[in-house]
Amino acid sequence: LVELLSERLRSPLENLPGPPPLSWLRGHMDQLFHPQGWDFHLKTVAAFGTAVRLRGFLGEDVLYLTDPAGLRTILTGEHGDIYEEPPMITIIEKNKLLWGPGLLSSTGMAHKKQRRVLDANAVFSVQRMRTVMPIFWDVTRRLEDTMVNLLQCGSTELDMLIWMSRVSLELIGQAGIGVSFDTLSETSLPSEHVLTAKQLIPLSFPLQGFMRLVPSIVKIGPPKFCGFQDGIVPYPNIRKLRENNGACEGTGRDIISVLIQQNKGADPMDKVSDDELISQTGTLIFGGHETTLVALSRILHVLSLRPKSQERLRLEVMGARVERRDISYDDLMKLPYLDAVCKETLRLYAPVTQLHRVPRRNSIIPLSRPVLGRDGQMIDCIQVQAGTMVVLGTAAVNRDPAIWGLDADQWVPERWLQPLPETVVDAYLPGVLSHMMTFMGGGRSESCIGIKLAEVEIKAVLYVLLSRMKFGPSGAPITWDMHNFATPTVQGGNKPSMPLKVTLLSG
Ligand code: HEM
């Protein structure tokens, strides 16, 4: 360990700008994971530029990167093959612990093959979204009916985080794996599926943090360490979730059912194993639930603080709804202000604030915006040693004023209703959605596979809720803490929640 660490401490990043180390044991990485880590992201970039040297948990060098050319290099082309997910994922891949051999836990060729099969079967395509649209309307209508019932006595304070969590889990359950988790009724208790799925989440997060903590340890040696992991990973729950998923027959319109059907007749080269198929079910829930619920909650929170924007959006969706209650996928996607509100919130408040990559071999990262080295010389490319942790600062790059303009840290949905500034286009960011890094991007296997599903889920929920009710602040100030996903909490409280004042509209 000492040998590995001393090698890392002498990495070629030495000349890069960056804040002074906090202490040997308390590096900068814990600031990135700190509940108020937003500030650290933004201030670090503002002070030192788009390539910064940070200290890891053990004092080792970490590259914090928001430079567009640098991100392109890591995420696209041949470099996409040099950089891989950090060891946490690799360990999971070895042990197939959390999700089985699905997308989130596979690496290298196995991952590429799964992505290819999913892409070839077009299970996340626009065409598929058109087909599953009735599922979205069915689920959101259930949410609407229950909430309208709750609001019969007038304005009520509701914890919208819970409702967004319930509806997004039901949406991904029904559309993704053909399983209903929640009737979305006023009194219903979460089903056994929910309990099984949710019990995994709090355990998987600390595990993730721990694995990031000491990348070097992973390389030390397997048997004892792997035994240790076996002890902390909640095996019974995984088994149960997978058993539940196994019950999914594969006969419906949902993504997994379609995949099961198409896999039967696929070319042997393109076939995935049953185990891989079943594992995608857990992958879809973990990839799609928390992210979407955070995005939806954030949009509602932002709109509750901006009544004029909320009213403008309401007029747009009500106008569309007067003609037809459940519009088509294409008509929903065409609503301009709804699209602008979603994009702007996802830009400013990316649910996933940072991602991590590690090069398998030494590599060189060019910078489009050179940074000032400690020796006073400008640096326009960086040498990165194999094994160095590279943090891709998603949240910060989405708010970079050199790209998005001086109002980059403001919520301005109108920016999406006109041509984007040249600085955005010229940055050539590899983001898969509208130049943003929110869903990552670059090579096909580096981005969010569920982006279209997320988009339609968010828009369908907003379409339904805003045309029936109004959202305002409850009086309890809400702060968003940065954990693995940004999470709302009532100021001073320690439990995630987002109480809003909700009022039923007449008519
Ligand atoms: C607002 C909502 C969402 C956001 C912000 C988001 C963001 C992301 C990001 C940043 C990644 C890349 C992670 C990495 O490369 O390390 C990712 C991957 C992934 N996402 Fe999403 N996601 C969202 C919704 C969804 C939904 C609804 C699904 C369900 C299908 C989903 C499924 C996945 C999967 C399976 C991966 C792994 C892809 C792979 O490894 O090839 N996501 N997501």
Q: Which tens digit of pLDDT belongs to each residue from 352-367?
A: 888 888 888 888 999 9
Average pLDDT over the chain, rounded to an integer: 78
Whole-number Å distance, alpha carbon 170 to ligand 1 midpoint, is 17
Whole-number Å distance, alpha carbon 283 to ligand 1 midpoint, is 9
Mutate which of 85, 280, 291 for ligand 1? The one with the most ligand atoms within 8 Å of its CB, which is 291
Place of tokens 């198929």: 277
CA angle 216, 222, 225 (to 5 degrees): 80
Of 327, 311, 284, 300, the C-alpha closest to 114 is: 284
Whether 288 lines ligand 1, by a CB cut-off of 6 Å, is: yes
Whether 110 lines ligand 1, by a CB cut-off of 6 Å, is: no
Decide: 397 and 429 in contact? Cβ < 8 Å: yes
Alpha helices in 21-86 (DSSP H): 29-32, 37-48, 68-75, 79-82
Name the residue at shortest CA distance from atom 4 of ligand 1.
Answer: 291
The CATH class for the domain spanning 96-354+393-504 reads mainly alpha
ipTM of the complex: 0.98
Tokens standing for 95?
A: 């042990």
Q: What is the pLDDT of residue 410?
A: 95
What digits encode the pLDDT tens for the residues 297-337?
999 999 999 999 999 999 999 999 876 778 999 999 999 99
Question: What atom in ligand 1 is closest to the CA of residue 351?
Answer: 5
Tokens standing for 344?
A: 């702007």
The mean per-residue pLDDT over the stretch 15-28 comes to: 79
Q: What is the pLDDT of residue 147?
A: 93
496 has pLDDT over 90: no
Question: What atom in ligand 1 is closest to the CA of residue 437?
Answer: 10
Place of tokens 């590096």: 27
Place of tokens 């829930």: 285
CATH 1.10.630.10 spans which residues of the chain?
96-354+393-504
Rounded CA Rg of the chain: 23
The Cβ of residue 3 has, within 10 Å, a number of other Cβ atoms equal to 8
Q: What is the pLDDT of residue 503?
A: 95
Name the residue at shortest CA distance from atom 33 of ligand 1.
Answer: 287
What is the Cα 394 distance to its own chain's centre?
10
Write the single-letter amino acid at 81: D
Q: Which of 44-48, 221-225, 440-444 has the lowest mean pLDDT?
A: 221-225
Rounded percentage of the chain residues whose pLDDT exceeds 90: 35
